[in-house]
Structure 1
Amino acid sequence: MGKKVRRIGVMTSGGDSPGMNAAIRAVVRACAYYHTECIGYYRGYQGMVNGDSVKLNARSVRNIVNQGGTILQSARSKDFLTKEGRAKAAKNLKKDEVDAMILIGGDGTFRGGKVFSQEHDVPVIGVPGTIDNDIYGTNFAIGYDTALNTVVEAIDKIRDTASSHNRLFFVEVMGRDAGFIALNSGIGAGAEEILIPEEDLGLERLLDSLERSRRAGKTSSIVVVSEGDKIGKNVFQLADYVKENLPNYDARVTVLGHIQRGGRPTCFDRVLASRLSVKAVELLLDGKRDLMVGMLNNEIESCSLERALKGKHNINKELLKISEILST
């Protein structure tokens, strides 16, 4: 049994995702409910290294549940990658009398937390916040649902132009190594093809599919491309290849980029962030440590950080089949 947790630190790290503010709010207010103090660290691990902290209470997080981004800001810290940097962070936590940390972020955040906990005996709990949704141990990460809705809304608007001008649009979405955004938004927006890193469609099969669509009477098409897809070097070269081999298509490219990270979080993400973050506080107060909280089958569960980092969140094969059927 570790020492009693009297003060909890919280920070956001890595890429921002909609709902992080809702998570911060839930951590702070859960601490207040359980008569535990809360300290926020700015810019993730860099704030811990620099000792850039702020005391938080229930009133200091008012009116942020509906805001995108993160009031604590986020950054990637080169200093924290070194033993010296982590030692400095531990010294600052001791100075702030912080007994445990809640880390809101993705796999890089959890990897750093695991090492930090082992080296300096600081209990940590990870709360998954990443639009890529590529974290093992949870069906959904904070921000994923909002990003999906942003992408679908954008593709709906692009389709209006595609239909008006008989064009083929390649729409690139985020997902460096995971195709969750591409697959689900592609189905939701009625894309003719979906290209993801987990499934190599192949250039010839893509050409065959687009040609079949043209012969079937489709005058415009949408192809959703995950940025990590391996079918071409990049989405622009992919579009050029199609233009060369299917001259009947007027192919265009839209890269949605960082609009997928912003915006007001959906109700789903606000509720998810609240549930996960309250559970994270409760786990620390119960003496638990080095875990990640997640939602599995609508129940809040926890698993070890090590398992979360080593496991793989697999693409739903049923959705792949559905996308193929619906693109007919």
Structure 2
Amino acid sequence: MSKIKRIGVFTSGGDAPGMNACVRAVVRTAIYHDIAVTGILQGYQGMIDQSFIEMNSRSVSNTIQMGGTILKTARCLEFRTKEGRAKAYENIRSVGIDALVAIGGDGTFTGAEVFSREYDIPVIGIPGTIDNDLYGTDYTIGYDTANNTVIDAIDKIRDTAASHDRLFFVEVMGRDSGCIALNCGIAGGAEAILLPEKETGIDELIDKLERAKEGKKSSTIVIVAEGDKNGGAYNVAKRVEEKFDFYDTKVTILGHLQRGGSPSSFDRVLASRLGYAAVNRLLAGETRVMVGLRNNEIESTSLEEALSNKEFKLAEDMLEMTNVLAI
């Protein structure tokens, strides 16, 4: 591999708290090694639209605590075509970019893997998604912050639920992954958790609610992942109300507030470690890999492997624990 002179860094897909800390680490690590950095605005769309900015150490000052992404993000259908990728490659080479750092989730990595193979451009992926559903890392950037945001909301909802003997259905993000729902359900003391990975029938849920009633609980909270097979919190609440009217029932959809906010200390450190590692792995000659955290060590996983291992399994002990601790 020829010597890398300029790295292009971009964020793509859904934003996640900690992305700015990661960009900061990439920029400053590259500059430390006398490598120029170009920021690509709005991900793959920015490559096609030539939305480039020169970055230096001061470009990322006062960003480590910021949520969202200073590089912006966007979906890009044109990049999925060969013509779109050809245009993107021509544009990035015109400004001297000869290696890429891609921060995002599986959609971001799919594009990066294809692009790197077609044009033999070195690329390192960094997992940035609140869903924590990527193979090859114990944690993704943004997951810890999203958890803290959800738990704070659950605690507040619990206060009002207990004051009025209410049953709250709280819907959290997780179309294909129940990581946030499971983790926050346990941390928030939920009486039941509905997950995409584990089908829970309405009758089974009602049995749990009846046990809560018999235990004289003054409030009940059910966490629903948006990808639950029963069709989301509103649908679950409606079906439960038809058979079980002991509580006054309310629904809260937390939605995109889970993506926002200042990143936690954990996410800032994780993002910094991964950004730092990505540049160093590029300089060591690695390409088409994702850097991730495993057993508190930074490890590389090929993008192909990270993308092909779609079955992200939830911890069995945590699944069992939800039933035990809800009594």
**TM-score by structure 1 length?**
0.98
What does residue 38 of structure 1 align with? 37
Confirm or deny: 8 A CA contact 1:44 1:73 kept in the other structure: yes
- The SS at the match of 1:10 is strand
1:88 counterpart = 2:79: no
Structure 2 portions without partners, runs of 5+: none
Kindly report which structure 2 residues correspond to 1:1-328, keeping only aligned pairs within 5 A, or say none: 2-230=1-229, 232-311=230-309, 312-328=311-327
Confirm or deny: 8 A CA contact 1:21 1:70 kept in the other structure.
Answer: yes
**C-alpha distance in structure 1 between counterparts of 2:6 and 2:235, whole Å:** 53
Structure 1 runs (4+) deviating above 4 angstroms are: none
Q: Which moved more, 1:258-267 or 1:247-256?
A: 247-256
How far apart, in 2, do the equivalents of 1:257 and 1:56 lie? 33
Q: Mark the runs of 5 or more structure 1 residues left unpaired by the alignment.
A: none
List per-residue Cα deviations over 1:151-176 (Å, max 9, x = no partner): 00000000001000100000000001
Structure 2 contact 7–37 (Cα < 8 Å) conserved: yes
The secondary structure found in structure 2 opposite 1:171 is strand
Per-residue CA distance 1:44-97 (angstroms, 9 max, x = gap): 000011111011011110000000000000001011011111000000111011
Equivalent position SS for 2:102: strand
Partners of 2:265 and 2:312 in 1: CA distance: 23
Determine if contact 1:4/1:287 at 8 Å carries over to the other structure. no
The whole-number CA distance in structure 1 between the counterparts of 2:238 and 2:218 is 19
Question: 97-106 or 233-242: which moved more?
Answer: 233-242
Distance of 1:106 and 1:265 partners within structure 2: 18
Q: Distance in 2 between matches of 1:5 and 1:288?
A: 12
**Among the aligned pairs, what percent are the same residue?**
56
Amino acid across the alignment from 2:160:
T
Q: Distance in 2 between matches of 1:204 and 1:291?
A: 45
- 1:100: Cα distance to partner? 0.5
Contact (CA 8 Å) 1:41, 1:72: kept in 2 or not?
Answer: yes
1:219 positional shift: 2.3
CA distances 1:91-130 after superposition (whole Å, capped 9, x unpaired): 0111011111000000000000011011111111000000
**What amino acid does structure 2 have at the position aligned with 1:21?**
N
- CA distance in 1 between counterparts of 2:50 and 2:238 reads 50
Distance 2:111 2:2 in 1: 22
1:8, 1:102 within 8 Å by CA — same for their partners in 2?
Answer: yes
CA contact (8 A) 2:137 2:293 kept: yes
Shift of 1:313: 2.5
Amino acid at match of 2:246: N
Distance in 2, Cα, partners of 1:150 & 1:57 = 32
TM-score (norm 2): 0.99
Do the aligned partners of 1:137 and 1:313 also contact (CA within 8 Å) in 2? no
Aligned pair count reads: 326
Question: How far apart, in 2, do the equivalents of 1:235 and 1:171 lie?
Answer: 7
Give 3-state SS (helix, strand or coil) of 2:249's partner: strand
Given that 1:6 and 1:36 are in contact with CA atoms closer than 8 Å, whether structure 2 keeps it comes out as: yes
Distance in 1 between residues matched to 2:73 and 2:316, nearest whole Å: 34
User: CA contact under 8 A between 2:224 and 2:232: conserved in structure 1?
Assistant: no
Question: Helix, strand or coil: the match of 1:130?
Answer: coil
Q: Shift of residue 326 of structure 1?
A: 0.5
Q: Give the partner amino acid of 1:258.
A: H
SS at match of 1:177: coil
**8 Å Cα contact 2:173/2:180 also seen in 1:** yes
